[in-house]
């Protein structure tokens, strides 16, 4: 297969075209992977979702909420590929396990943001309902579009979930964040963005045991949010940390509230986690990919295996 070559050795950044190519290759080569279109972004880009195993009892893995954190989407795609290879090779552990539990993967929640970070203003070939002048005003605030985190409307998806949103919005204003920009603006109200709605709708229609949001960077694992945090969450987080060498942490400042992990915990009282992959300065370079994946590989397989045989 050319999958690994495309992913790493060709050093091609995962823009929409490359990402779609990788997903198509996965689906074409592994007939047990199901692909659907979860929703569309503001600029009409597809937000795909992949299913492996038992849909009715599944774990959710999500990535690329922030534009310049595009490396997270590659981590999830490689994990799907490697797991699928094990199944194709007759690995009984994972073949039997996936009869009991499934994986639901959204590799790229914010495709417009990723495209902006990778391609700048070229990302707006199809400007949708926005005028060129509106885009120009938005981008005047950002000297380097490679540092773009938000969606195409300048809303930070991970500040747009309905978990302590009002308090977060007040804190944003105190920090001088009063409107659209490259990062940290939570929108006019919770779930105002189609990308946010795509994830909340998926969760409300599914029965996810646990949920994970992959971000970068810091090599940290966030696990708690408020009184609805399950007791077992800390135990899981500590095991994930032991397997990866990452640190169990709690977010601070504007990283508290408004995020997917916070919303999942408060909405369902089930374990939700943010995994901050890698270490350095965003956007992490593609050259870091192999070392990052090697460090978290055991953690990814543990996520799939956890607690399944004790039931």
CA–CA dist 148, 267 (Å, integer): 29
Tens-digit pLDDT profile for residues 35-66: 999 999 998 999 999 999 999 999 999 999 99
Please report the pLDDT score of residue 311 as a whole number.
41
180 vs 241, higher pLDDT:
241
Tens-digit pLDDT profile for residues 179-209: 888 999 999 999 999 999 999 999 999 999 9
Average confidence (pLDDT) over 28-34: 96
CA–CA dist 254, 252 (Å, integer): 6
1 — pLDDT class (breaks 50, 70, 90): very low
Angle between helical axes of 194-205 and 260-268 (0-180°, round to 10): 30
Tens-digit pLDDT profile for residues 64-76: 999 999 999 999 9
**Chain mean pLDDT for the chain:** 90
Please report the pLDDT score of residue 14 as a whole number.
85
Residues 78 and 293 sit within 8 Å (Cβ to Cβ):
yes
CA–CA dist 156, 193 (Å, integer): 9
Q: Report, in this order, helix, strand and coil percent for the chain, each rounded to 5.
A: 50, 15, 40
Residues 164 and 262 sit within 8 Å (Cβ to Cβ):
yes
Q: Which residues pair with 145 in a beta bridge?
A: none
Lowest average pLDDT, out of 117-121, 131-135, 142-146, 163-167, goes to 131-135
Please report the pLDDT score of residue 143 as a whole number.
64
Query: What percentage of the chain reaches a pLDDT higher than 70?
Result: 89
Average confidence (pLDDT) over 224-233: 95
64: left (phi over 0), alpha (psi -120 to 50) or beta: left
Query: Quick one: which H or E segment has residue 173?
Result: helix 165-174
CA–CA dist 109, 48 (Å, integer): 8
Tens-digit pLDDT profile for residues 257-283: 899 999 999 999 999 999 999 999 999
Is the pLDDT score of 4 beyond 70?
no
The DSSP secondary structure of 196-213, one letter per residue, reads: HHHHHHHHHHS--S-EEE
């Amino acid at each position: 297969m050319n999958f690994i070559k495309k992913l790493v050795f060709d050093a091609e950044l995962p823009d929409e075209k490359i990402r779609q190519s990788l997903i198509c290759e996965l689906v074409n080569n592994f007939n047990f992977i199901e692909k659907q279109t979860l929703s569309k972004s503001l600029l009409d880009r597809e937000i795909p979702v992949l299913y492996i195993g038992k849909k009715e009892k599944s774990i959710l893995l999500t990535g690329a909420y922030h534009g310049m954190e595009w490396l997270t989407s590659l981590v999830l795609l490689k994990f799907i590929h490697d797991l699928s290879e094990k199944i194709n090779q007759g690995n009984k552990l994972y073949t039997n396990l996936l009869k009991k539990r499934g994986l639901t993967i959204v590799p790229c929640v914010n495709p417009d943001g990723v495209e902006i970070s990778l391609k700048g203003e070229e990302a707006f070939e199809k400007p949708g309902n926005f005028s060129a002048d509106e885009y120009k005003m938005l981008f005047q605030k950002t000297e380097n579009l490679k540092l773009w985190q938000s969606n195409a409307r300048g809303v930070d998806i991970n500040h747009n979930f309905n978990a302590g949103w009002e308090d977060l919005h007040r804190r944003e204003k105190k920090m001088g964040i009063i409107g659209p920009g490259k990062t940290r603006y939570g929108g006019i109200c919770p779930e105002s963005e189609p990308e946010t709605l795509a994830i909340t709708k998926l969760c409300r229609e599914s029965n996810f045991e646990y949920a994970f949001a992959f971000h970068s960077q810091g090599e940290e694992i966030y696990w708690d949010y408020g009184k609805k945090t399950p007791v077992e969450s800390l135990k899981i987080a500590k095991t994930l940390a032991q397997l990866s060498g990452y640190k169990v942490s709690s977010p601070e400042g504007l990283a508290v509230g408004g995020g997917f992990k916070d919303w999942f915990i408060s909405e369902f009282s089930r374990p939700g986690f943010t995994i901050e992959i890698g270490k350095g300065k965003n956007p992490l370079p593609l050259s870091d990919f192999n070392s990052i994946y090697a460090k978290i590989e055991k953690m990814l397989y543990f996520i799939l295996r956890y607690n399944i045989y004790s039931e």
